Structure 1
Amino acid sequence: MSATAEKQPNEQLGSWFVRSGWSKGELARQVNRRARQMGAHHISTDTSRVRRWLDGEQPREPIPRILSELFSERFGCVVPVEDLGLRPAHQPPAGAGVDLPWAGPQTVQLINEFSRSDLMLGRRGFLGTSLALSAGPALVEPMQRWLVPTASAAIPAQPGPERDLPARPSRLSEQELALLEETAAMFRVWDNQCGGGLRRKAVVGQLHEVTDLLQDSHPERVARRLYRITADLAALAGWMSYDVGMQPIAQKYLVLALHAAKEAGDRPLGAFVLSSMSRQMIHLDRPDDALELIHLAQYGSRDSAGATLQAMLHGLEARAYAGMGQVNKCHRAVRMAEDAFAESRPAEDPPWISFFTEAELHAENAHSYRDLAYVAGRSRNYASLARPEMEAAVDGFAGDEIHQRAYALNLVGLGTVHLLMREPEQAAEATARAITAAKRLRSERVNTRIRTTTHAALRDFADVPEVAALAERLSQQLPEAAASA
């Protein structure tokens, strides 16, 4: 009887598949590409295998998780394994989700184990098999405990009677701590310059080493500083994972980063981590979740956030309101971002917020207006508001040798605005410039947006010579296999 049940067509998977517009061969190629990207080199899917899945065959892990991620990215929303009519091979182990204990020793242990798994399993397996994206109350409610006061766990407890003795002097010198902080800042520069795919494992390795240091006994001042470095590195590992399309892994690192920031007592850094989680939710078309995370960040850092951080949070608030179609609140948040940024003092800002320049402010505003245009049915009025902001962002990043990914992303954004304005020639020109920039990066996020914009241009303006030339250039200079290597 079970054999008969297995032969029933998987109507849920079939529905998502038809809506995706992919052929069976294209889906097979997408699965193989993602598997190679995640280290599951034993996966080799073909058209006949996809047909069997649609006919009701239950694939083994990591295929269900890969399909979940692919359809989530395709449709811009979380598509759980269960919604595809598939069964995960096993239940996620304890600690695999985002509802984790808010205590220093457990945070250190979880980051240490997760980073070690990422370093080791990524070479021969698939780290994401036990992970799934959390969203809605399952994500937001655990993060709210960031604000709940807890007893300081910055100094690990000693076993037995030694717990009553003073902590031993740290074996880390001031120079060594400063070098660790400088290393984290350097990794951020590389990420902005080259994309997340080039140095991600180096960041994960450094994160693992810092958590090793945190398992020693340190004075509270040193321990808090190490927790701050840990939070910074974990947040960067999460951001780089997001940039290369590893969504569940990215979310897990960001959650762990927020825990470490809490142990460090660094509310602004915690707010920054929440902002990265919010960006991921915007990417996955969950603006309501993004808004809750941003409001949590704003409330938690209300007495400690500098003007630059406040401006960034208001800019993201505008993005969330735009995605929800709340026009007046979006405009208000844009104005508040501009007002806060006018008071910023970059020389006093921590390194992790240094990316938020005037060009980045223009970029946030542009994407808010662009998103309003999409929500309003491709409104040219909102697109006309986005256009000067996006042009200012592109101009601001054009001569910036560090923020090359931002330059590429905003060129793509400018292309989408031109499409909304029904200016296909200008859209093709901006997107072609983005291809040139993308060739110097290792960012699947940039590559995916270029492909999406090019396909949209082809759909609406296939007869325009510049658009046809853009598609040809994309296939030659940024082929999918090479982009995901």
Structure 2
Amino acid sequence: MIAKARAFVEVRMSRMPNMALAHAMRRADCSNSGLASRVRQIAIEDGVSLSCTHVDVKRWLDGVRPRHATARFIAEALSRKAGVTFTLDDIGLAGVVTPETLEATLAHGGGISDAGSRLLALTRRDLADDPVALQSVVVPDAWGESLISWLLARPEPLQIRQNARPSVGKWDVHAIRATTELFANMGFQFGGGHARSALIQYYNREVVPMLGGKFTEPVGRALYAAAAEITELVAWTAYDLGRHGLAQRYFLQGLRLAQASGDRMMGGLLLADMSHQANYLGRYDQAIQLARAAQEGCKGVATATPMALFYAMEARAHAGNGDEAACVRALNEAEKHFSRRDADNDPSWVSYFDAAELASEGAHCYRDLKKPSQALEFVGQAVDLCDPMYVRTLAFDRLVQAASYVHMNEPSQAATVALEAINLAGPLKSERYLRYIRDLKADLLGRECEEQVAAFNALVADRYPSLNS
């Protein structure tokens, strides 16, 4: 028997209109009356009779929350109308964010609409500074599952939606790429924390909705590739701020977008990024696997520079593992590929990986292997060749140089170089940068009697009080 119930029961009043619901209704091209009718029908299918009208819909849009069951009917109604999946989070009717809903962003499978829904939900939590999202942890198994899925993937048909919104053209794709370049350059100069909220706002409001839009197949492929590229940047900014679980989830969804676009090199880049993150977190074996997956999946497809990058990531992971022989082999492969590079044939996103960047990777390798002479040789090349625009990279290189002087038992020289690095960095918003400082501070413990070391400690105490504990 069909149960009787009111469609609308006010649970609590919100101070703000439900913009997410309004956006979802526009995307589904659904009016207030149309949504009310569809909700009533879906409720009947569920054995419930709801007296739902356009008035109820207006109240939901104004910020009044329906019962949880009714919210599910709303999400289902909009999903059917639009032909894409809307979650409760997508329509602004989720309750407390739960770890279970967050973990959906670890998934690599499903259609491209699933990836869009995951990203929309994730960016909303990101923008709201939701601690569950910001403090989420890395799930190592997700790396292995994603690299296997990507390696075994086959070309997939592009779903064309004739009645979808918004309508996307090639100029929209150009705009995404130009915006990505702008924010990437700011990251190089000021760190991942600089203007990140503006980047996420743009990504959430402009880029993600396009994934479910209307476009031709060529535009759709280009759109997914451009979306993968800006997703990679969003992930990097989270990584640079030390929000590792959040970064991993963006990287994984970016890989799904790259797969849908058919851009194998972009997929390889995202795997290399995940290798970099795994290495940073001390998961060296997984970092090796991710870098090798990038190499294998891009053989015969990638130009020389991305391949050099992929081998450099493998070398970094071997160095972290203390395997000098394997590190040298991978670094040699990186140099061989790099020697054959033709920048004119490279994708634009790899332009940063120049001779200075390759030398910087070598310096990091030998620092981790505690081979200071070799590390200093590579650092010298990296600093001499580096474009001054790359402030973050130069600061990293200088701090690698400082660590190498510690390994040579020259604490005063190490502190002198570190002071230069700090003055160079300025207001750099990067947790990775702070880790270099923190590690060097620990390396110089017991050397406080040295004048330069004391000056370094004093500057760190003044500039970065969070590192004093």
Q: Please indicate, yes or no, whether the TM-score normalized by the shorter chain is above 0.5.
A: yes
For residue 378 of structure 2, the aligned residue among 358, 374, 389 is 389
Q: Is 1:259 aligned with 2:245?
A: no
Count of residues paired in the alignment:
371
Question: Could you tell me which amino acid in structure 2 is paired with residue 92 of structure 1?
Answer: E
2:171 corresponds to 1:175: yes
Q: Separation in 1 of the partners of 2:391 and 2:307? A: 24
Deviations 1:417-440 (A, max 9, x none): 000011111101111011112223
Alignment partner of 2:100: what SS? coil
From 183, 193, 202, the counterpart of 1:197 = 193
Q: 1:473: Cα distance to partner?
A: 1.4
Deviation at 1:128, TM superposition (A): 2.1
Aligned to 1:283: 280
Q: In structure 2, do the counterparts of structure 1 residues 439 and 192 end up closer, same or farther at CA, with 3 Å as the change threshold?
A: same
User: C-alpha displacement at 1:362, in angstroms?
Assistant: 0.6
Determine if the alignment matches structure 1 residue 109 to structure 2 residue 117. yes
Give the partner amino acid of 2:159: I
State the Cα distance separating 1:138 from its structure 2 match. 4.2
Map 1:332-371 → 2, pairs under 5 A: 332-371=329-368
Kept in 2, the 8 Å contact 1:188–1:352? The answer is no
After superposition, residues 395-414 of structure 1 pair within 5 angstroms as 395-397=384-386, 400-414=387-401
**Alpha-carbon distance in 2 for matches of 1:150, 1:335:** 31
Q: Is the 8 A contact 1:91 1:130 kept in 2?
A: no
CA shift, 1:93, in A, is 2.8
User: Which residue number corresponds to residue 325 of structure 2?
Assistant: 328
Structure-2 change in CA distance of 1:468 and 1:460 (3 Å): same
Is 358-367 or 173-182 further displaced after alignment? 173-182
Structure 1 residue 224: deviation in Å? 1.2
1:118 aligned residue (111, 122, 126): 126
The 5 Å alignment of 1:368-379 reads 368-373=365-370
Using the size of structure 2 for normalisation, the TM-score is: 0.74
**Mapping of residues 81-96 of structure 1, within 5 Å:** 92-93=100-101, 95-96=103-104
> Which residue identity does 2:151 align to in structure 1?
L
Partner of 1:146: 150
Which residue does 1:233 correspond to in 2?
A: 230
Task: Say whether residues 1:131 and 2:136 are aligned partners.
Answer: yes
Q: TM-score, normalised by structure 1?
A: 0.72
Amino acid at match of 1:103: G
- Asked if structure 2 preserves the Cα contact closer than 8 Å seen for 1:439 and 1:478, the reply is no
Q: Which runs of 5+ in 2 are unaligned?
A: 1-96
Q: Tell me: CA distance 1:91–1:253, structure 2 relative to 1, closer, same or farther (3 Å).
A: closer
Given residue 455 of structure 1, which amino acid in structure 2 is its aligned partner?
Answer: A
Query: Which of 449, 459, 470 pairs up with 2:436?
Result: 449
Q: CA, structure 1 residues 117+138, in 2 after alignment: closer, same or farther (shift >3 Å)?
A: closer
Partner residue in 2 for 1:467:
453
Tell me the CA shift for residue 134 of structure 1: 1.0
Whole-Å separation in 2 of the counterparts to 1:138 and 1:229: 23
The CA distance in 2 between the partners of 1:405 and 1:435, in whole Å, is 11
Deviation track 1:259-278 (CA, whole Å, cap 9, x = no partner) reads: 11101111001110111111
Match of residue 76 from structure 2: none
What's the CA shift string for 1:32-82, capped at 9, x where partnerless? xxxxxxxxxxxxxxxxxxxxxxxxxxxxxxxxxxxxxxxxxxxxxxxxxxx
RMSD: 2.3
Question: Residue 103 of structure 1 contacts residue 153 of structure 1 at CA under 8 Å; is this kept in 2?
Answer: no
- Give the fraction of aligned pairs with identical amino acids, expressed as a percent: 30
Aligned-partner Cα distance in 1 for 2:99–2:246: 17
- Compute the displacement of 1:116 (Å): 2.1
C-alpha contact 1:92 1:130 (8 A) present in aligned 2: no
| Partner residue, 1:420 | 407
